[in-house]
Amino acid sequence: MEMSKSAEPSGEKPNEHFLAWDKEYAHLKWGGPASVKGVRAYLPPGSRVLDAGCGNGRYLGELAGHYAAVGADVSLTALRSSRVQLSRSGRAAEHLGASVHLLPFKAGSFDGILCYGVLQHLFGEERAATIREFRRVLRVGGLVFFEAFGCEDMRYGGEPAGPGEDHTFVRQNGIIYHYFTEEEVRALFEGFEVLEMESVKREKIFRGETYRRHMVRGVFRRL
């Protein structure tokens, strides 16, 4: 994979909420592989696909079974776990320590980007920078597969992250949680063609109480 000189690490100290992920993955258990059927519905086998914020490889391992897959994450602990899991499954993918808002790849490097459950853990400026990076590293016609928490989710709330960070909270572990509206996602992907966009809401009953899970999903094409 060719690297972009302009996107090499700058030596700046990582934000604290990035550092929190190493601690988080130190005790997170492997949850098993996760489906990438949404990606397979659009991209032919052999496409070059980036798992942006790949974590411990739940999606990356499945991508590697069909595509030339690359995983990027800020947590080296997560990347080590991902390598182990892929090795056990007999699959291989390139792993790189990098933030999604500063990707070390040349322009037009990928046919697709999977970004599930990642942008919800960034501040507003970082989310905007991430989408700019996605546009840069995608080929014309390339696709972004997006999923993140919605504002009607039962987990909404907590300690406010700060001024100008609407619907954004900081947990005790130092990790950021942002909750999206569909309108916000459309605005974030302005300039992309919207192929799919939906709010997925599910009700769960726990100890007699009803709780709502809310995810916003979309597929966006680089023009």
pLDDT value, residue 167: 97
Residue 53 has pLDDT above 70, yes or no: yes
Q: Which residue has the higher pLDDT, 1 or 207?
A: 207
pLDDT value, residue 13: 44
- The residue ranges of every structural domain in the chain are 14-31+46-222
Stretch among 104-108, 165-169, 182-186, 207-211 having the lowest mean pLDDT: 207-211
Average pLDDT over residues 20-30: 90
Residue 5 has pLDDT above 60, yes or no: no
Summarised one tens digit per residue, pLDDT across range 96-153 is 999 999 999 999 999 999 999 999 999 999 999 999 999 999 999 999 999 999 999 9
How far, in Å, CA of 38 to CA of 45, rounded?
A: 13
Q: What is the pTM of this model?
A: 0.92
Residue 8 has pLDDT above 70, yes or no: no
pLDDT value, residue 65: 97
Q: 177-191 burial string, b = 16+ CB within 10 Å, else e?
A: bbbbeeebbeebbee
- Tell me which H or E stretch contains 38: helix 37-40
Percent of the chain surpassing pLDDT 90: 86
**Burial level of 165, CB count in 10 A (0-12/13-18/19+)?**
middle
Reported confidence tier of residue 3, pLDDT bands at 50, 70, 90: very low
Topology annotation, domain 14-31+46-222: Rossmann fold (3.40.50)
Residue 15 has pLDDT above 60, yes or no: yes
